[in-house]
Amino acid sequence: MGVGLNILIVGCFVIGLAMAEPQVPCYFIFGDSLVDNGNNNGMQSLAKANYMPYGIDFSGGPTGRFSNGKTTVDVIAELLGFEGNIPPHATTSGQQILQGLNYASAAAGIRPETGRQLGGRIDFTGQVNNHMSTVEKISSMLGDKGSAANLLGKCIYSIIIGSNDYLNNYFMPAFYSTGSRYTPEEYAGDLIQRYAEQLRGQEQVPNCLFFMGDSLTDNGNNNNLITLAKANYLPNGIDFSGGPSGRFSNGRITPDFLAEFLGFDKSPPPFSTANGPQILKGVNYASGASGILDETAIIVGDRISLNRQLFNHGLTVSKIALLIGNATLAREHLKTCLYFVNMGSNDYLLNYLQPQVSLSSTFYTPQQFGEKLINQYSQQLRKLYNYGARKVVVFGLGMLGCTPGMLARSPNVNGSSCKYSNITKVVEPFNNRLKPLVDTLNNNLQEAQNEYTFWDNYHPSEVFTRAAVARAYEAASPNDAYPCDIRRLAQQ
């Protein structure tokens, strides 16, 4: 028999007499600072209240409650007949959890990035995950899942969440882009959809992010290589916190925005400097001037081709197995990650379209070269699958004829006509074969969920990158992402 979910939206408080025995066996609380009773105390966060004058009227003084005394859920627990307050998840263990826990965290929201500027906090998805861990512990204590379900079905659950998604997100344009990306109606719809998914217990945020690509994605892997393809000097990074980092942009790049939209505090570190437990959250392998083909961009010096990036990922997989315990656990971990592969532009810009240094255009027609790239790409994506990747985003190539370098080579072509130029048409065979490749991989590889996203830029500004990534993350039209956008891929 299924267990129904009864949800009460509280609009007022009815004061009644507390019974001698609790009216329910347990009470679980989720929310933000309105009901947090100490879960943020041990975090590096500005959102904590374990000091005076908080708690000035509370027995025992400051506890982490954002109040002079009791909070609403303390009063509810009293009215339900509990002898004491429901304890915080952060400090509670043993038999005590059978009467309930408070998972609330100040600055938390429905969206994972909400409250990020305040430091540590546990978003609603994280609180739900903590409750799932509690359920496992209760099952162990009671002997089986059936007994746990019987107990938990009799409990009351309070959820007070959503204020920070406005106060510490939508209304803070200096830190978040949601105010410019959504109308109020669209934002409310987004929150309600996420809220519904969280109430059903669906995970929204992947455990880790891995990036492979070229200069559009490189965040420092080329810094110490002997190469012309590096960007660890001004004016690169002029608008980036900390200055030039190796990103080929004035500010943030694709991985930075994708990490933000997916709720990560920061984007993964470059492989060249990543070490220790931080690799469990992901790594960026991208290298400026790299290509699908090993020989691409040989004229610029050293670079890390996609084959070498895959080799480096294999090293990371081995390290993760050591950190987690064994290869099986590592593969289970990697299944939950998102992988982004943005590759192919240089195979044209620094190979096929450079007849003075490459013979590719002599040996291959555009159709043949596009097929050659796709065949190689297919093998590389299958190798990534063999390493454990199950959710992969591949980016299509933009209108390369519209890049400044290509426009300089075509004096009769301008910014409005470049999309129809011969250079742009040379790339079409690759893009035309990319969607069918995604379908083939999804159909032939068990559990594979590859996605194609069209990418129409080349070394853009931070502002342009944010707008482009926003559409890839949450597609505005079916042409932006196929068969689904990044947000929905993360939820699968």
| DSSP secondary structure letters along 301-369 | B----HHHHHHHHHHHHHHHHHHHSSHHHHHHHHHTSEEEEE--HHHIIIIIT-TTT--HHHH--HHHH
Q: Which of 32, 33, 190, 480 is catalytic?
A: 33
256 is catalytic: no
Q: What is the pLDDT of residues 50-64, one digit of tens each?
A: 999 999 999 989 999
Rg of the chain over Cα atoms, rounded to whole angstroms, equals: 26
Q: Which of 218, 272, 459, 485 is catalytic?
A: 459
At residue 394, the pLDDT reads 94
How confident is residue 2, by pLDDT bands cut at 50, 70 and 90?
very low
Average pLDDT over residues 21-35: 95
Q: What is the pLDDT of residues 103-138, one digit of tens each?
A: 999 999 999 899 999 999 999 988 998 998 899 999
Average pLDDT over residues 297-305: 97
- Beta-bridged to residue 283, according to DSSP, are 210
Q: For residue 95, is pLDDT > 60? A: yes
Q: Outline which parts of the chain fall under CATH 3.40.50.
A: 209-490
Q: For residue 455, is pLDDT > 70? A: no
At residue 405, the pLDDT reads 62
131 is catalytic: no
Closest CA to 430 of 374, 362, 346: 374
At residue 99, the pLDDT reads 96
How confident is residue 12, by pLDDT bands cut at 50, 70 and 90?
very low
At residue 480, the pLDDT reads 73
Percent of the chain at pLDDT exceeding 70: 88
33 is catalytic: yes
At residue 403, the pLDDT reads 65
402 or 119, which is more confident: 119
At residue 7, the pLDDT reads 52
Q: For residue 432, is pLDDT > 70? A: yes
At residue 399, the pLDDT reads 73
At residue 361, the pLDDT reads 93
At residue 138, the pLDDT reads 96
Q: For residue 275, is pLDDT > 60? A: yes
For helices 306-324 and 327-335, give the axis angle rounded to 10 degrees.
120
How confident is residue 328, by pLDDT bands cut at 50, 70 and 90?
confident
How confident is residue 19, by pLDDT bands cut at 50, 70 and 90?
very low
User: What average pLDDT is seen over the chain?
Assistant: 88
Q: For residue 359, is pLDDT > 90? A: yes
At residue 264, the pLDDT reads 85
Percent of the chain at pLDDT exceeding 90: 68
Max Cα distance, the chain (Å): 89
At residue 1, the pLDDT reads 36
Q: For residue 223, is pLDDT > 60? A: yes
Helix (H) or strand (E) holding 138: helix 124-142
- Beta-bridged to residue 394, according to DSSP, are 341, 452
At residue 66, the pLDDT reads 97
How confident is residue 411, by pLDDT bands cut at 50, 70 and 90?
low
| Cα(241)–Cα(243) distance, integer angstroms | 6
Say yes or no: domain 209-490 is CATH 3.40.50.
yes
Average pLDDT over residues 295-319: 97
What pTM did the predictor assign? 0.62
| Cα(390)–Cα(310) distance, integer angstroms | 15
Q: For residue 482, is pLDDT > 90? A: no
Q: For residue 93, is pLDDT > 80? A: yes
How confident is residue 481, by pLDDT bands cut at 50, 70 and 90?
confident
